Structure 1
Amino acid sequence: MFKHELLKDYLAQFGGMTGSRARDKRVVYLDGYAGEGRYENGQPASAEIALSIAAHHHDHGLTMECFFAESEEKSYARLHDVVQHYRQRQVVAYDHHGEVDGVLNSVVRRAQHAPLFLFLDPCGLVLPQDRLVDVLARQRPRYQKWPPTELLMNFSMMAVWRLGGHVRSPKGSEKSLQRFDDVCGGTWWRDYFADAAASTHQEHAAQDAIEAVAAAYARRLEQRTGMLVQSVPVSHSPRKRAVYRLVFATRSQYGLWVFGNSVARARDEWWKTLDEREESSGQLALIPNRPDPEDVAAQAIPEIAANLEKLLARTRQPIKLVNYTLEIFGRFYGQVPEPAVREAVRLLHKQGKIPSNGAGARRIREITVHPGNLAA
């Protein structure tokens, strides 16, 4: 549900922002592990979420061409029916029965002059990193900011945990290890679990190794593609380790800002939905307290204000907020939506440290902050 809320919020904005600037008002979208398209209870899955967004854009003069790949036969049959339904509504959509790698190059060629968004959400392991780098840095050149290319990918922490067990065990499967070598673009990840096996607290060290591998994977993808990469943990509760990470890659500070905002909004909706379910079942008291969005914002605002103050002191010139997304949000990136930044700007103005409270900007990310009396 979190993943779908995020996709619904961000993909609609990506399509609208980039499609309106594209020369033929066209955006290309690929869901590489599309599943059934719609759940048996009638709720939309990732494919139908994208198709409904495409239908909305079509009604407003934009074309979002949707490509879906699914290898499992029964899932593909259901997916095909969903795609055909939206094709009858004039949505440009195609389904492929097979692995995503079999259609990836043709989709990239189709997007030669158009914005491209790749959504890769496998149940197990994702494409080899060399393959991703080929698409993101060679076929879509790393120096090319337009047309934009973005990636949202599920990096399974559970899969890393299982494969780490093969490293630690003398009976581990070398074939499985080599498959994950391909995913990671090398054998470097094995060292983390080898070190964990030598630890006196092996279970805890192995858990730490999973987190370290996920973080290193994102760093390496960023280095190899020249993109801005963020890895967002997704867990069943704030006190539990991540079940998977959503890896997001973009070349745009705008994309980075909007994605972080979408993550925060989707997370709030996710917690709210869980609370409602547990309250109706009488289990709420048994679940660890989840963060109240207002409490998180209250913690975030003064810290974001401090980040902004340091940034102004360093640059000594006016800054447009969207150009410094990670520096401004800091550790609260993806944790709080963008109104927290507006409140941080107002706080600095109230303290007499900047001359304006940011009023008048059409969007929060477009606010330009001028340095003032930073020593106040």
Structure 2
Amino acid sequence: MALKVASSLRHKPGLTLECFFSEPQAKSFDRLHEVVQHYLARSVRAHAHRGEVDGVLDQVVQRAVREPLFLFLDPCGLVLPQDRLVDVLARKRPQKWPPTELLMNFSMMAVWRLGGHVRSPKGNEKSLQRFDDVCGGTWWREYFADAVASRHQDGAAEDAIEAVAAEYARRLERRTGMLVQSVPVSHSPRKRAVYRLVFATRSPYGLWVFGDTVARARATWWETLEEREEDDALFSVASVTRPDPKEVEAKAVPEIAENLARLLARTRRPVKLVDHTLEVFGAFYGQITEPVVRKAVQRLHEQGGTPSNGVGVKKTREITLYPGNLAA
């Protein structure tokens, strides 16, 4: 899929995508190499590396000097050690421009499994140390130590998993100086998250686009579940009702309008929406798409909270709001 995208964009003026792929397993690498060779013959810049991703990461960073870098890490198990990520994001790529962004699969199943090692007297210390590296310290073990002391260990352990994922994102944000958001991904509404998708950026614009994309993906996910309900007798979401998009929007519009009013009251100057992504979306970040924000702008305008109505601005994120006492 990545190579198809690179191929489709290879003739676009001013844009060149260079792809690096890493695979340690011999059989899978042979297949990867075959696919990469096919696209190399079509003038797509691509590299296949036999081994772990850490072995090719420095090469990728070096190739991206003075170029934008989108680092997508999708391991089957544990992600790179946090110290290594910090080295790349905060030391090798500390600047705001050209941009650096990270999208990463943080395995919740791996946390669940390793949490069991903490709770068990027979836990594998080598595995625990490996996850210490991933988390940048042993701090995560304390969450599961508390779970051991709880009378309701299964529930406490599940809470511990979520707490570890949240703290991981906070520490990554603090250590890199980037904006970090983490969203859960599960197979069904009745099951806990299989992994969390962690996104890091230095751009409020990137944060806005990620939230909007997550909301759109969530809608598609629900549609896919409903199709599976019809085709698969073993899988049913009948007991879990999809949130009505109209009801969610009806709740979101007034709340976001209030967020905008508070933002204007705090800044007392014109504000561009995209520069205040999290304040604008609030609790609805990743839940609703940006057209809903435009409706909130219109609502605030009708209430006299701003002379800005968003009319004539192509993208909602580009709307600039003015306080009520300023001309739009």
CA gap 1:64/1:343 in 2 versus in 1, 3 angstroms = same
**Residue in structure 2 matched with residue 134 of structure 1 by the alignment:** 87
Q: Distance in 1 between matches of 2:53 and 2:105?
A: 14
TM-superposition CA deviations, 1:136-175 (whole Å, max 9, x none):
111112xx10111111011111110111111111111111
Contact 2:306 2:322 in 1 (8 A): yes
Cα deviation, 1:325-376, whole Å, max 9, x if unaligned, reads 0111111111111111111101111222211211111211100011117xxx
Identify the residue that residue 21 of structure 1 maps to in structure 2: none
Paired position in structure 1 for 2:130: 179
Computed over aligned residues only, the root mean square deviation of the Cα atoms, in angstroms, reads 1.6
Q: What pairs up with 1:99-248 in 2 under 5 angstroms? A: 99-141=52-94, 144-248=95-199
Q: Secondary structure, in 3 states, of the residue corresponding to 1:94?
A: strand
> Which residue number corresponds to residue 40 of structure 2?
87
2:98 is matched by which residue type in structure 1? P
Residues 226 and 346 (structure 1), Cα distance of their counterparts in 2 relative to 1, 3 Å cut:
same
Tell me how many residue pairs correspond in the alignment: 324
Aligned to 2:5: 53
**Deviation larger for 170-179 or 352-361:** 352-361
Asked if residue 327 in structure 1 is aligned to residue 279 in structure 2, the reply is yes
Cα displacement (A) at 1:302: 1.5
Q: State the match for 1:358 in structure 2.
A: 310
Deviation at 1:286, TM superposition (A): 3.6
Once residues 214 and 297 of structure 2 are traced to their aligned partners in structure 1, the CA distance between those partners, rounded to angstroms, is: 21
Structure 2 residue matching 1:83: 3-state secondary structure: helix
Could you say if the C-alpha distance between residues 164 and 241 of structure 1 is closer, same or farther in structure 2, counting changes exceeding 3 Å?
Answer: same
Q: Secondary structure of the residue that 1:59 maps to in structure 2?
A: coil
Partners of 1:237 and 1:288 within 8 A in 2: no
CA contact (8 A) 1:237 1:290 kept: no
Structure 1 consecutive aligned stretches of length 4 or more whose deviation exceeds 4 Å: 282-285
Distance across 1 between alignment mates of 2:308 and 2:203: 26
TM-score normalized by the length of structure 1: 0.83
Q: Do structure 1's residue 341 and structure 2's residue 293 form an aligned pair?
A: yes
Question: Any idea what SS the aligned residue of 2:150 has?
Answer: coil
- Give aligned-pair identity as a percent: 73
| 1:105-124 alpha-carbon deviations (Å, 9 max, x no partner) | 01100101100011111111
What letter corresponds to residue 149 of structure 1 in structure 2?
A: T
Partners of 1:161 and 1:232 lie apart in 2 by 17
Moved more, 183-192 or 352-361: 352-361
